[in-house]
């Protein structure tokens, strides 16, 4: 006959084994979930061979229905920059075409307004009656109707202080305009708020510091978060990294690095958002041509003109793990 003490010890032993098994199962599940989340957050190239092709591509911005994209193409050294557009047809994108207004001046950094009625961009084209100064960028916009450009470029004028040069425009749903301006080697991010139809003087975002070189901001339509590029922030993983900050009751949080799933020792930049603000687009060079075997002349020609030539392409990644909790 088994004593109560022995029986109790056996029950405790069985219970302990079951607990250990449960902990192992839970740990495996959590590990699997974490790996799945990491895999889901891995950037992939956007439209390889069509939009991400043989040149340096950057600055993806989409219309409200996400069936039209505007982006920039540039030569090495920024000698020529043009804005291109492509339309989604089924599950693929059409052959990109230059925007009607582009081709003479350096036009870049396109941004589609949340209501889909304007395409903002930056250009070194001269204002009416002025002489052109190369690389002297100003902000412009063109009207959009159902994703198509209508009319000619118009200056997008903001009441900024003398010496400020707004660059890389993005606009929230309420019309507030975000951009950066550089002073010497330091770049800071600003907002010009739209009140009663008039833009106000610029306000520097609270996370800017003299030690941080912050630029190329992209604001979410609801102003709940902003993604930008920084080259000097503590905790960076490479030359230029992508960072995120959240708007908490009008105060911007300390920026967070988007981590090794997005950032690498190489430069990442030129961020853009999908129309629903759930996907991040950015430019990076991640294709390294193989040199472990010889290429035929035809293979070399194909490689130099493909997205595998080592020039930066556009990548996309889900922001699900980074979106603010509503």
* 3-state DSSP assignment of residue 45: strand
Instruction: Return phi, psi of residue 293, to 5°.
Output: -155, 155
| Residue pLDDT, tens place only, 108-126 | 999 999 999 999 999 999 9
User: What pLDDT, on the 0 to 100 scale, is given for residue 96?
Assistant: 98
Flag whether pLDDT at 281 surpasses 60: yes
Write down the pLDDT at residue 130. 94
pLDDT at 30: 35
pLDDT confidence of 37, banded at 50, 70, 90?
A: very low
Mean pLDDT, the chain, integer: 88
Distance CA 138, CA 160 (A): 12
Show Cβ contacts of residue 156 under 8 Å, excluding neighbours closer than 6 positions: 120, 139, 140, 141, 169, 177
Give the predicted TM-score (pTM) of the model. Answer: 0.86
């Amino acid at each position: 006959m088994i004593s109560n003490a022995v029986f109790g010890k056996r029950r405790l032993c069985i219970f302990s084994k079951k607990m250990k098994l449960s902990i192992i199962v839970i740990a495996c599940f959590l590990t699997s979930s974490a790996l799945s989340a990491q895999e889901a957050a891995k950037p992939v190239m956007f439209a390889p061979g069509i939009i991400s092709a043989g040149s340096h591509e950057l600055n993806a911005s989409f219309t409200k229905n996400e069936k039209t994209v505007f982006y920039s193409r540039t030569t090495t050294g920024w000698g020529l920059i043009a804005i291109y557009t492509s339309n989604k047809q089924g599950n693929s994108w059409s052959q990109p075409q230059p925007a009607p207004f582009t081709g003479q001046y350096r036009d870049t950094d396109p941004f589609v307004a949340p209501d889909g009625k304007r395409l903002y961009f930056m250009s070194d084209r001269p204002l009416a009656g002025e002489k052109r100064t190369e690389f002297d960028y100003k902000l412009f916009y063109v009207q959009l109707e159902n994703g198509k450009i209508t009319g000619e470029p118009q200056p997008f004028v903001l009441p900024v202080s003398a010496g400020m040069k707004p660059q890389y425009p993005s606009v929230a749903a309420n019309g507030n305009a975000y951009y950066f301006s550089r002073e010497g080697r330091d770049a800071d991010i600003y907002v010009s708020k739209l009140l009663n139809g008039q833009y106000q003087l610029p306000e520097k975002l609270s996370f800017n510091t003299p030690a941080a070189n912050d630029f190329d901001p992209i604001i979410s339509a609801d102003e709940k978060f902003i993604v930008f590029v920084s080259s000097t922030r503590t905790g960076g993983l490479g030359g230029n990294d992508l960072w995120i900050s959240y708007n908490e009751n009008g105060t911007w949080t300390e920026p967070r690095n988007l981590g090794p799933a997005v950032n690498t020792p190489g430069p990442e930049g030129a961020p853009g958002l999908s129309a629903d603000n759930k996907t991040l687009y950015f430019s990076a060079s991640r294709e390294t041509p193989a040199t472990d075997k010889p290429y035929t002349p035809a293979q070399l020609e194909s490689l130099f003109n493909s997205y595998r030539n080592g020039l930066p392409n556009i990548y996309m990644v889900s922001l699900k793990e980074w979106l603010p909790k509503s």
